[in-house]
Homo-oligomer: A and B are copies of this chain.
Protein backbone atom coordinates (compact mmCIF):
# COMPACT_ATOMS: atom_id res chain seq x y z
CA UNK A 1 0.00 0.00 0.00
CA UNK A 2 1.19 3.45 -0.68
CA UNK A 3 0.20 7.05 -0.46
CA UNK A 4 1.16 8.89 -3.62
CA UNK A 5 1.06 12.61 -4.14
CA UNK A 6 1.61 14.12 -7.57
CA UNK A 7 1.92 17.78 -8.40
CA UNK A 8 -0.22 18.69 -5.43
CA UNK A 9 -1.09 22.31 -4.71
CA UNK A 10 -2.89 23.21 -1.52
CA UNK A 11 -4.56 26.43 -0.42
CA UNK A 12 -5.61 27.95 2.88
CA UNK A 13 -7.99 30.87 3.24
CA UNK A 14 -8.27 31.13 -0.56
CA UNK A 15 -4.53 31.50 -0.96
CA UNK A 16 -2.22 28.84 -2.40
CA UNK A 17 0.45 27.94 0.13
CA UNK A 18 2.28 24.96 -1.36
CA UNK A 19 2.65 24.05 -5.01
CA UNK A 20 3.95 21.14 -7.01
CA UNK A 21 4.48 18.65 -4.21
CA UNK A 22 5.28 15.13 -5.32
CA UNK A 23 6.18 12.26 -3.02
CA UNK A 24 5.32 8.70 -2.16
CA UNK A 25 4.97 7.07 1.21
CA UNK A 26 4.89 3.28 1.32
CA UNK A 27 4.02 1.14 4.30
CA UNK A 28 6.93 0.43 6.55
CA UNK A 29 8.21 3.98 6.23
CA UNK A 30 8.10 7.24 8.07
CA UNK A 31 8.21 10.63 6.44
CA UNK A 32 8.93 13.72 8.50
CA UNK A 33 7.52 17.03 7.24
CA UNK A 34 9.59 20.03 8.07
CA UNK A 35 9.21 23.69 7.36
CA UNK A 36 9.13 26.96 9.23
CA UNK A 37 6.01 28.30 10.95
CA UNK A 38 3.30 29.14 8.48
CA UNK A 39 4.85 27.21 5.62
CA UNK A 40 1.78 25.06 5.07
CA UNK A 41 2.36 21.75 6.86
CA UNK A 42 -1.02 21.79 8.56
CA UNK A 43 -2.71 22.70 5.31
CA UNK A 44 -1.01 19.82 3.51
CA UNK A 45 -2.02 17.29 6.14
CA UNK A 46 -5.62 18.49 6.15
CA UNK A 47 -5.74 18.16 2.40
CA UNK A 48 -4.35 14.63 2.53
CA UNK A 49 -6.87 13.74 5.21
CA UNK A 50 -9.64 14.79 2.84
CA UNK A 51 -10.83 17.71 4.94
CA UNK A 52 -10.28 20.21 2.15
CA UNK A 53 -10.04 19.84 -1.60
CA UNK A 54 -6.65 20.24 -3.28
CA UNK A 55 -6.16 23.18 -5.61
CA UNK A 56 -4.48 21.01 -8.21
CA UNK A 57 -2.75 17.67 -8.49
CA UNK A 58 -3.56 14.13 -7.52
CA UNK A 59 -3.65 12.26 -4.24
CA UNK A 60 -3.67 8.50 -4.52
CA UNK A 61 -4.34 6.46 -1.45
CA UNK A 62 -6.27 3.36 -0.51
CA UNK A 63 -9.71 4.17 0.86
CA UNK A 64 -10.19 3.92 4.60
CA UNK A 65 -6.50 3.89 5.28
CA UNK A 66 -5.89 7.18 6.98
CA UNK A 67 -5.96 8.29 10.60
CA UNK A 68 -5.50 12.01 11.11
CA UNK A 69 -4.11 13.56 14.28
CA UNK A 70 -4.62 17.31 14.38
CA UNK A 71 -3.33 20.20 16.49
CA UNK A 72 -6.44 19.74 18.64
CA UNK A 73 -7.07 16.41 20.29
CA UNK A 74 -10.84 16.23 20.08
CA UNK A 75 -11.20 15.12 23.68
CA UNK A 76 -14.46 15.48 25.55
CA UNK A 77 -13.69 17.16 28.85
CA UNK A 78 -16.46 15.46 30.80
CA UNK A 79 -15.74 11.94 29.60
CA UNK A 80 -13.10 9.82 31.25
CA UNK A 81 -9.93 8.69 29.52
CA UNK A 82 -11.35 5.23 28.88
CA UNK A 83 -14.68 6.59 27.62
CA UNK A 84 -12.97 8.94 25.21
CA UNK A 85 -10.90 6.14 23.80
CA UNK A 86 -13.74 3.63 23.65
CA UNK A 87 -15.81 6.07 21.63
CA UNK A 88 -13.17 6.35 18.93
CA UNK A 89 -12.60 2.62 18.98
CA UNK A 90 -16.27 2.01 18.27
CA UNK A 91 -16.38 4.64 15.55
CA UNK A 92 -13.54 2.83 13.81
CA UNK A 93 -15.08 -0.55 14.44
CA UNK A 94 -12.42 -1.83 16.82
CA UNK A 95 -12.95 -2.77 20.44
CA UNK A 96 -9.79 -3.22 22.45
CA UNK A 97 -8.45 -0.06 24.06
CA UNK A 98 -6.08 -1.78 26.50
CA UNK A 99 -3.00 -1.86 24.26
CA UNK A 100 -3.43 1.82 23.50
CA UNK A 101 -3.73 2.71 27.20
CA UNK A 102 -0.69 0.61 27.98
CA UNK A 103 1.39 1.99 25.16
CA UNK A 104 0.90 5.58 26.28
CA UNK A 105 1.13 4.89 29.97
CA UNK A 106 -2.46 5.94 30.63
CA UNK A 107 -3.61 2.96 32.69
CA UNK A 108 -3.37 4.89 35.92
CA UNK A 109 -5.47 7.70 34.52
CA UNK A 110 -8.17 5.59 32.88
CA UNK A 111 -11.04 6.82 35.03
CA UNK A 112 -9.95 10.47 35.22
CA UNK A 113 -12.13 12.99 33.40
CA UNK A 114 -10.23 14.50 30.48
CA UNK A 115 -10.59 18.05 31.80
CA UNK A 116 -8.50 17.21 34.84
CA UNK A 117 -5.49 16.09 32.82
CA UNK A 118 -2.39 18.22 32.40
CA UNK A 119 -1.44 19.45 28.94
CA UNK A 120 0.91 16.54 28.31
CA UNK A 121 -1.49 13.92 29.63
CA UNK A 122 -4.19 15.19 27.26
CA UNK A 123 -1.79 14.93 24.40
CA UNK A 124 -0.91 11.35 25.27
CA UNK A 125 -4.59 10.49 25.23
CA UNK A 126 -4.97 12.18 21.86
CA UNK A 127 -2.15 10.06 20.50
CA UNK A 128 -3.53 6.86 21.98
CA UNK A 129 -6.56 7.42 19.76
CA UNK A 130 -4.39 6.61 16.74
CA UNK A 131 -3.77 3.10 17.99
CA UNK A 132 -7.47 2.28 18.23
CA UNK A 133 -8.26 3.43 14.69
CA UNK A 134 -6.56 0.39 13.18
CA UNK A 135 -5.62 2.52 10.17
CA UNK A 136 -2.39 2.06 8.25
CA UNK A 137 -1.43 5.62 7.43
CA UNK A 138 -1.02 8.08 10.26
CA UNK A 139 -1.01 11.78 9.40
CA UNK A 140 0.22 13.62 12.46
CA UNK A 141 0.43 17.36 13.02
CA UNK A 142 3.01 18.25 15.66
CA UNK A 143 2.20 15.22 17.80
CA UNK A 144 4.76 15.91 20.50
CA UNK A 145 3.61 19.37 21.54
CA UNK A 146 3.57 19.58 25.38
CA UNK A 147 5.15 16.15 25.80
CA UNK A 148 8.10 15.66 28.11
CA UNK A 149 11.17 13.64 27.12
CA UNK A 150 9.84 10.34 28.44
CA UNK A 151 6.53 10.75 26.63
CA UNK A 152 8.27 11.67 23.39
CA UNK A 153 10.06 8.38 23.80
CA UNK A 154 6.76 6.53 24.27
CA UNK A 155 5.43 8.16 21.16
CA UNK A 156 8.51 7.26 19.13
CA UNK A 157 8.18 3.66 20.26
CA UNK A 158 4.53 3.61 19.25
CA UNK A 159 5.36 4.92 15.80
CA UNK A 160 8.20 2.43 15.40
CA UNK A 161 6.07 -0.55 16.28
CA UNK A 162 3.22 0.70 14.09
CA UNK A 163 5.57 0.98 11.14
CA UNK A 164 7.15 -2.36 11.86
CA UNK A 165 3.65 -3.87 11.81
CA UNK A 166 3.04 -2.66 8.24
CA UNK A 167 1.95 0.89 8.92
CA UNK A 168 3.28 4.22 7.78
CA UNK A 169 3.43 7.71 9.26
CA UNK A 170 3.66 11.23 7.91
CA UNK A 171 4.65 13.53 10.74
CA UNK A 172 4.90 17.33 10.78
CA UNK A 173 7.19 18.40 13.57
CA UNK A 174 9.73 20.99 14.61
CA UNK A 175 11.73 18.79 16.96
CA UNK A 176 13.92 15.73 16.56
CA UNK A 177 11.95 12.61 17.36
CA UNK A 178 14.86 10.20 17.16
CA UNK A 179 13.14 8.15 14.45
CA UNK A 180 14.83 6.62 11.46
CA UNK A 181 12.96 8.48 8.76
CA UNK A 182 13.18 10.38 5.56
CA UNK A 183 12.62 14.10 5.75
CA UNK A 184 10.63 16.32 3.41
CA UNK A 185 11.19 20.03 3.74
CA UNK A 186 8.18 21.90 2.38
CA UNK A 187 9.91 25.28 2.24
CA UNK A 188 11.05 24.92 -1.40
CA UNK A 189 7.47 24.25 -2.50
CA UNK A 190 6.11 27.53 -1.23
CA UNK A 191 3.57 28.97 -3.63
CA UNK A 192 4.78 31.89 -5.68
CA UNK A 193 2.13 34.60 -5.55
CA UNK A 194 3.09 36.15 -8.86
CA UNK A 195 3.37 33.10 -11.00
CA UNK A 196 2.14 34.29 -14.37
CA UNK A 197 -0.16 31.36 -15.05
CA UNK A 198 -2.33 32.43 -12.17
CA UNK A 199 -2.80 35.95 -13.41
CA UNK A 200 -3.87 35.56 -17.04
CA UNK A 201 -5.74 38.86 -17.28
CA UNK A 202 -7.67 40.85 -14.79
CA UNK A 203 -10.86 39.08 -13.71
CA UNK A 204 -10.25 36.01 -15.78
CA UNK A 205 -11.20 33.54 -13.08
CA UNK A 206 -8.30 35.08 -11.21
CA UNK A 207 -9.89 34.75 -7.82
CA UNK A 208 -7.31 32.65 -6.03
Please give, as numbers and ranges, the residues of chain B lying within 8 Å of A151 by CB-CB distance: 36-37
CB-CB nearest in chain B for A141: B119
Residues from chain B with a CB closer than 8 A to the CB of A147 are 37, 174
Q: Would you call A197 an interface residue if the criterion is a C-beta within 8 Å of the partner chain's C-beta atoms? A: no
Instruction: Decide if B174 touches A37 in the complex (CB within 8 Å).
Output: no
- A interface bracket (residues with beta carbon within 8 Å of B): 20 to 34
This protein's copies in its complex: 2
A-side residues, CB < 8 A to B, are 13, 35-39, 42, 71, 116-121, 123-124, 142, 145-151, 174-175
Nearest 4 interchain pairs by C-beta: A37-B120, A38-B118, A36-B148, A148-B174
What are 18 A-B contacts defined by CB distance under 8 Å?
A35-B148, A36-B148, A36-B151, A37-B118, A37-B119, A37-B120, A37-B123, A37-B124, A37-B147, A37-B151, A38-B117, A38-B120, A42-B119, A71-B119, A71-B146, A146-B174, A148-B174, A175-B175
With A38-B121, A145-B145 already in contact, 12 other A-B pairs whose C-beta atoms are closer than 8 Å: A35-B148, A36-B120, A36-B148, A36-B151, A37-B124, A37-B146, A37-B147, A37-B148, A38-B118, A39-B118, A142-B146, A147-B174
